[in-house]
Amino acid sequence: MSEDVVGAVAARPTDDTATGGEKTQTETQPAQSPDTASPRSKPADLQIRLNDDPALGFCVYALRPYRRGERLFEERTALEATHDAHPEGIRNVYERYSQMGVDRRRALHGSFPHLAWANGVDAQEAAAARTLVGSLLTPTSRGLVIDNCLTAEDHMRMRPDGGVLGNAGPAAEKKESAVAAPAQRAKAAFRGLFKRSSSTTSLADLTDDEIVEKRARTETLDWFSRYAFRLKPEISFAKPGGNHQAAVYLLTDLINHRCGGFQNCRVSADVGTIAVLALRDIAAGEEVTINYSKDVKDFQCKGECCVKK
């Protein structure tokens, strides 16, 4: 991740954005689909939908013009954790996630299908939480209207299992206990991991519960590494001078990447919040984009900036 606050750590992965799910008490109108919106309701400002290229996952579009320097929205931090730049350093996102309340985790699942999958959350339950994407907007975004066009199918499509639990053909019809089913899926997911690892631990040495937790921990860390924004010490919840903090956001993390000079927005983070600001005039119908500014580009940019002529 970048050492600055502009390093969203992933493009929308093909296999597949915090805090929590407490709903913000603001006057922001709830997301509405065009066919359910009242004729007298304020037109939507932003739209969330599955990208035309599913490899890019979810995306955000402007539904009205924005002027250079205008703030599109501001939202509260969804989840902040210590994520040391060195792999052997402290990386406690799984512990922070596990300590969150049910509602706060549910909001995260709505923005991040991969996180829900990694922690054994039912696909339909996670998809239902997609309506919480705008739930952490701050009072400064009062009046913002979001047209959330994500369907349950869109959400489940971004999970590694495609929303189909078990996914084992005829074997899936067998009755499995609540522990056995996720354990079997975890074992399958970890076979390749153990082959690549120098660890002497084998699947045979682990109980079913340990296998499930190990997969959840590993996948949650991978998710955070790809999606989190690196925070400067002075804008993190950690005491002044703290290093290696990073955070994810429910709505900002859905914005796709464009390389330097091609993005139309930038982010500005503060303690507990992040704002998205227009770098130039943005036309209605244009996709909202930012530059992830990652030290290591571990994703494929599919924007016009990198498309081969």
pLDDT higher than threshold 70 for residue 199: no
- Hey, is 96 helix, strand or coil? helix
- State the average pLDDT over residues 36-55: 80
Residue 13 pLDDT > 70:
no
Continuous H helices in the chain: 93-99, 102-111, 113-118, 123-128, 152-157, 180-196, 208-227
Q: Please answer whether residues 138 and 256 qualify as being in contact, where contact means their C-beta atoms are separated by less than 8 angstroms.
A: no
* Burial grade of 129 (CB within 10 A; 0-12, 13-18, 19 or more): buried
**Which residue type is seen at 111?**
S
**Separation CA 171–CA 242 (nearest Å):** 50
Hey, where are the domains in the chain? Answer: 46-161+177-290
- Return the pLDDT at 73: 98
Write out pLDDT tens, residues 243-276.
689 999 999 999 999 888 889 999 999 999 999 9
CA distance 266 to 292: 9
Average pLDDT value for residue range 278-287: 97
Q: Please state which of the four CATH numbers 3.40.190, 1.10.10, 3.90.1410, 3.40.50 is assigned to the domain occupying 46-161+177-290.
A: 3.90.1410
Residues with Cβ within 8 Å of residue 120, at least 6 apart in sequence: 182, 212, 216
The angle subtended at Cα 105 by Cα 233 and Cα 164, nearest 5°, is 125
Q: Check residue 306 and give its pLDDT.
A: 76
Which of 37-51, 140-154, 186-200 is most confident? Answer: 140-154
